Amino acid sequence: MATVVLLGTLDTKGAEYVWLRERVRRLGCDTVLVDVGVGPSDVEADVSAEEVAEAGGTSLQALRDASDRGAAVTAMGEGAAIVLAALGRVDAVLAVGGSGGSSIAARAVRDLPIGLPKLIVSTMASGDVSPYVGAKDVTLTYSVVDIAGVNRVSRLILGNAAAAAAGMAKAHAAPEPAAEERPLVGASMFGVTTPAVDAARERLDELGYEVLVFHATGAGGRALEGLVDSGLLAGVLDLTTTELADDLVGGVLSAGPDRLTAAGRHGVPQVVAPGALDMVNFGPRGTVPERFADRNLYVHNPTVTLMRTTPEEMAELGRRVAAKLAAATGPTVLFVPLGGVSALDAPGMPFHDPEADEACFAAMEGAVETERLDMNINDPEFGRAMADRLHRLISEGAQ
């Protein structure tokens, strides 16, 4: 029988979780109730709050004595993640809560594998949900009303959540027989590098791989790094490293400082290019910070404004890429497009700046094995060359 883990603060949401447990059981699933609350509760859980706190490296009494809500949320989230990892059977996780409960649940499910259902009913789900979703397949439902008892409205929302969790759990517990699966490759793409990635993807498909393409918008880069961490990828074709430029300069599409590290950390074969490092992303033209008013700006569309990186910024980006690649524990090859790093960096285009590009290329010199090709990144041969080299790296590692 499929198992749904109910994870919640029973000191404040006990009645709701008793109702959810009964509803999920009526829908034909087993339940495991995990208490992540710090206060006293009359509801008996399968995994007590004391056990969760201890898993998080503290004690329930210590959290109560400290009266530090932030510290308690952090500790119980860490403990809940450890508890979930140790449970023998998990087919879905369902949590309901406000900001604190949602934060605990989000941390608890963060390390669970992609494909395992994770559903959070939250009062916070109508705004910026990136802190709760991160780079994982978390499903969020807005609670509409506060989660304060089971009433005519919350019964509808919680009932739908129970049905969704039970249905997903049953599907997860009895998956369809898998077809013959091809090795997975992750690739990074932007609008201005699409032709290159399309050419690489087509070549990798011919070579027997299934290619997962990630849009380099910050969340896409984090998702790619997370999938590498999950161990599902045979190789990475990281053609579009543009998120590093946003991280350096302060654009809106940064994937954080850990971008371009997971493949190297895990020894996964990777081929890398400085795709779209010529640009930093902002929103509509009016949102570009005043300090950049005199820079080379290009209105990509009404909601996206691009800014050309300077030679100094490109040199620093080259140093950062070089350091990340030099630290890799697995086979790594850098591909350098001497004719420009994006569609806007081609001759005659608004970001064409060979001096800036060469500052980046020179800073990367000698870090790892490098292929310097005299073409723009979007030349189909560039993408195919990266694909062929990645195939060689993967094949050599399999021998």
CA atoms within 13 A on the CB side of 324: 22
148 and 77 belong to one structural domain: yes
Q: What are 302's strand-pairing partners?
A: none
| Structural domain ending residue among the three candidates 143, 173, 203 | 173
Residue 318: domain span: 184-398
Q: How far is CA 40 from CA 78, 334, 353, in A?
A: 20, 57, 64
pLDDT in tens, the chain (399 residues): 999 999 999 999 999 999 999 999 999 999 999 999 999 999 999 999 999 999 999 999 999 999 999 999 999 999 999 999 999 889 999 999 998 999 999 999 998 988 899 999 999 888 778 888 877 889 999 999 888 788 889 899 999 999 999 999 999 998 776 666 899 999 999 999 999 999 999 999 999 999 999 999 998 999 999 899 888 899 999 999 999 999 999 999 999 999 999 999 999 999 999 999 999 999 999 999 999 999 999 999 999 999 999 999 999 999 999 999 999 999 999 999 999 999 999 999 999 999 999 999 999 999 999 999 999 999 999 999 999 999 999 999 765
Indicate if 229 and 298 belong to the same structural domain.
Answer: yes
For residue 58, the model assigns a pLDDT of 96
* Pair 221, 338 in one domain: yes
With residue 80 as reference, give the H or E element that holds it. helix 69-86
Q: Per the domain annotation, does 16 fall within a domain? A: yes
Residue 139, beta-bridge partner list: 119
The SS3 of residue 388 is: helix
Q: Domain boundary residue among 173, 205, 223?
A: 173
Give residue 271's identity as a one-letter amino acid code: V
Q: Which residue bears the tokens 């879905």?
A: 92
Instruction: Please tell me whether residues 361 and 271 are part of one structural domain.
Output: yes
Kindly state whether residues 194 and 92 are assigned to the same domain.
no
pLDDT digits (tens, 9 = 90+) for 305-330: 999 999 999 999 999 999 999 999 99
Answer yes or no: is 264 within a domain.
Answer: yes
Q: Assess if residue 273 is contained within a domain.
A: yes
* Contacts for 152 with CB less than 8 Å, ≥ 6 apart: none
Long-range contacts of 293-299 (CB under 8 A, 24+ apart): 296/350, 296/351, 298/344, 298/350, 298/351
Assess whether 159 and 250 both reside in one domain.
no
At residue 119, the 3 state secondary structure works out as strand
- Based on the domain organization, do 240 and 317 belong to the same domain? yes
* pLDDT at 177 (0 to 100): 67
The CATH number for 95's domain is 3.40.50.12020
Q: Are residues 277 and 147 in the same domain?
A: no
HSE, side-chain direction, 13 A CA sphere, residue 397: 16
The alpha carbon dihedral of 345, 348, 350, 355 has a sign of positive
What are the backbone dihedrals phi and psi of residue 270, each rounded to the nearest 5 degrees, phi first? -145, 140
Q: How far is CA 119 from the centre of its chain?
A: 17
Of 324, 342, 349, nearest in space to 382 by CA: 342
Phi-psi region of 272 (alpha: psi -120 to 50; beta: other; left: phi over 0): beta
Residue 179, domain member (yes or no): no
Residues 280 and 164 in one domain: no
Please report whether residue 194 resides in a domain: yes
10 Å CB burial of residue 146 (0-12, 13-18, 19+) is: exposed
Show the tokens assigned to 18.
């008793």
* Number of domain units in the chain: 2
Residue 24 CB partners (closer than 8 Å, separation 6+): 4, 6, 31, 94, 162, 165, 166
Helix (H) or strand (E) holding 240: none
Judge if 222 and 351 occupy the same domain: yes
Nearest CA-CA partner of 41 in 17, 63, 70, 23: 17
Tell me the CB-side half-sphere exposure of residue 238, using CA atoms within 13 A.
34
* 178 within some domain: no
Question: Is 98 domain-assigned?
Answer: yes
Q: Is residue 261 part of a domain?
A: yes
- What whole-number distance in Å separates Cα of residue 390 and Cα of residue 236? 8
Judge whether 297 and 322 are in contact, CB under 8 Å: no
C-beta of residue 271 within 8 angstroms of C-beta of residue 333: yes
DSSP state of 47: B
| Same domain flag for 338 and 288 | yes
Q: Are 389 and 271 in contact (CB under 8 A)?
A: yes
Cα dihedral value 168, 173, 176, 177, nearest 10 = 160
How close are the terminal C-alpha atoms of the chain, in Å? 41
Cβ atoms of residues 342 and 278 within 8 Å: yes
Return the pLDDT at 86: 94
> Domain end: 151, 173, 195, which one?
173
139, 221: one domain: no
Position 309 scores a pLDDT of 98
pLDDT on residue 178? 60
Q: What is the DSSP letter of 97?
A: E
Query: What is each CA distance from 111 to 13, 219, 229, 230, in whole angstroms?
Result: 24, 16, 10, 9
What's the CATH code of the domain at 243?
Answer: 3.40.50.12030
